[in-house]
Structure 1
Amino acid sequence: MIRHSLALIAATAVATPALIPSVAHAQQVEIEASGPVIDLSVYESVTAEPDVATVGAGVTTRAPTAVEAMRLNAVEMTRVIDRIKALGVDEKDIQTTGINLNAQYDYDRQTQQQIFRGYQVSNRVSVKLRDIERTGAALDALVEAGATDLSGPSFSIEDDEAAKDLARQRAVERAHERARAYAAMFGYDDVRVLSVSEAVQGRGPMPEMAMRAAADAIMVQSTPIQVGLAETGVSISIKYEMVSSNSGN
C-alpha cells in the first residue's frame, strides 16, 4: 500500500512576546499511519495573581584608583543589602547579578587624546520580594539606602504547575476539536493521536524595564505599584491520523 501524507499546520493566536516557550521537550514516540496526517501546534496560557516580585538594585561608585573604587562600592552595597534584609527578605532571595570595574576616560578635542579620569565600579543584585504588596515601599527604601540604579519590578507565579496543567487541558481540547474539524473537511469521520510533544514556558523573570532613580527624586509618598496578573502557559504539538469508521482504525 502506498502511504499518503497530508500535512496541515494550524497557527494559534499571537502569543505575548514575554511568554515565548523555552526548551522543555518530551521524547516523541512515532506511530505508523496509513491515512493522511495532520500536524497541529497549539499554545494556551492561563493568567493568575502573581505572588513574587523581582527587582534589581545597583550601586555605582567612582574613585581615582581601582582599589578605592571597589572599597567604596563594597561599603555602599553592604548598606543596600542590609536594608534589603531589614525589609524581611530572606538571604536566599538576594543574588548578585554582576560586578563591573572599568577605567574612565574623557576625550580632549584639542589634543585629540584620551585623558584618564579614574575607575568606576557597578554592583547589582536581584531581589525576590514575596510580600508584593510592599514592592513600592521596598523600592523607596533601596534608594534611601544608597541604590542609584533600580530595575523592575517583574511579577511572576512561584508555583505555576496548577496553572500549566489547566493550560495543557485547554490546549489538548482545542487541538482535538480542530483536528476533527479538518478531518470532516476532507471526508473523514474522526482522528487518532500519533504523537505529542510539549514546550513549557520558561519560569525565569521577564525582562526588567530599566528605571533610573536619583536621590533628589525621592518622594514622601510611597512609589505606587500595580501588580496586575501574571501569565504562564504551554505549547503542545500533536500529530493526528485522519480515519474513517469503515477503515478498521
Structure 2
Amino acid sequence: MFRKQCAKEFYYFYLGGILVKTKRLKVMLIVIVLLFVSAFIFSLWRAEASSAPASQSKTEINVKGVASVFAEPDIAVVTFGVLSEDISADAAYSKTSSKINKIIDAIKKLGIDSKDIKTLRISVYPKYSYNKDNNTSKIVGFYASTDLRITVRNIFQVGKVIDSAFKNGANIFSDLRFDISNVAPYYNQALAKALENAKEKANVLAKGLGVSLGKPRIVNENTYVNAPPIVYKTQEMALSASSSQVQAGTIEIKAEVTLIY
C-alpha cells in the first residue's frame, strides 16, 4: 500500500515538472521570436536612414540645347489692295471692284494660280465732314476698299507681281512675307543639332562635378515659333518704284531641347 502511494505521488510530481518545463519553453520561444522581429525592424530602419541622405544629395543636371538652321525661302506672300472714294457707296465699291478685277487678271497672266489669290476683306464705310461752328458732322461720300493676299511660289516673280499690282490700280501695300513651303526637314536638322548641343553641355557639367551621366530621365522638345521675315514697304515707295528688286535673304529655323539627368 505504501509503495503504491509513493508511486502515485512520484507520478504526479513528474507530470507537474513536465508542465512547468513546457510553459518555460513556450515563454522562451516567444521571447526569441520577439527579439528576431525587433532586430529585423531595426535593420530596416537603419537601411532607410542610411539611404535617405544619399537620395537627397543626388545631383540633378538640367540643360537646354539650342540650334538654328538657315535656309533660303521658296515662297512669298504679298498683301495689297485698292481704296476708292466716291459720292455714293455703290460708286465707290464699283471703282474698287473694277481695279481689283484688273489686278487679278494681270497677276494671273504672270502664271499665278487662282488658288494662290485670296480676298482678305471688303470694306465700305462713310466719309464724314465735320462742322466746327455747330459741332455737327455729315456724310459727304463713301470709301470702299478690298485687300488681296497673293502667294508667289516662284520667288523670282515677286517683283513682277508687285509692279503689276500697282500698275493696274493698287494703292495700298500691307506687307511682304517670305516663307518656306516645307519647313519640316530644316526643323528636324535644327532639332538634331539642339539635342547634340544639350548633350555637350551635360557632359561638361558632369565632368566638372565629377559625376557620371546615364541616359536622361526627361527629354522635352520646347515649342518655338519660327517667324518668317517680313518686309514692309510704304505706299509712296511702291508707287514710285518702276521696277521692284526684292531680296529674300534667308530664314532662321530654330529648335530647343531640354534634357534632365
Does the pair score TM above 0.5? yes
Any idea what SS the aligned residue of 1:167 has?
helix
Which residue of 112, 126, 129 maps to 1:106?
A: 129
Structure exhibiting the larger radius of gyration computed from Cα positions: 2
Structure 2 residue aligned with 1:237: 258
Q: How many residues align?
A: 209
Which residue of 94, 109, 114 maps to 1:86?
A: 109
> Offset at 1:143?
0.4
Render the CA deviation track for 1:197-247: whole Å, top value 9, x for unaligned. 22454467544524214896252xx21212211222222222x22xxxxxx
Q: Which runs of 5+ in 1 are unaligned?
A: 6-34, 242-249
Is 2:67 the counterpart of 1:44? yes
Render the CA deviation track for 1:58-114: whole Å, top value 9, x for unaligned. 011122233332232222211111112111111111122222222221332233222
Residues 48, 207 of structure 1: alpha-carbon distance in 2 compared, 3 angstrom cutoff = closer
Q: Distance in 1 between matches of 2:97 and 2:165?
A: 15
TM-score where L is the length of structure 2: 0.71
Q: Is the 8 A contact 2:75 2:181 kept in 1?
A: yes
Q: Distance in 1 between matches of 2:59 and 2:237?
A: 64
Q: Is the 8 A contact 1:143 1:218 kept in 2?
A: no
Task: Show structure 1 runs of 4+ deviating over 3 A.
Answer: 1-5, 199-208, 213-216
Structure 1 residue aligned with 2:208: 185
Q: Distance in 2 between matches of 1:157 and 1:213?
A: 29
Q: Distance in 2 between matches of 1:100 and 1:38?
A: 57
Q: Is the 8 A contact 2:66 2:193 kept in 1?
A: no
Q: Distance in 2 between matches of 1:76 and 1:44?
A: 47
> Offset at 1:184?
2.3
Q: Distance in 1 between matches of 2:195 and 2:76?
A: 31
Is 2:220 the counterpart of 1:174? no
Structure 2 residue aligned with 1:228: 249
Q: Is the 8 A contact 2:80 2:175 kept in 1?
A: no
Larger relative contact order (C-alpha < 8 A, sep ≥ 6)? 1
Is 2:116 the counterpart of 1:66? no
Q: Which runs of 5+ in 2 are unaligned?
A: 1-50
Q: Distance in 1 between matches of 2:247 and 2:209?
A: 50
Q: Distance in 1 between matches of 2:128 and 2:181?
A: 44
Q: Distance in 1 between matches of 2:239 and 2:117?
A: 26
Q: Distance in 2 between matches of 1:191 and 1:111?
A: 82
Which residue of 77, 91, 97 maps to 1:54?
A: 77
Counterpart of 1:117, as a letter, is V
Q: Distance in 1 between matches of 2:121 and 2:133?
A: 36
CA RMSD in angstroms, aligned pairs only: 2.4
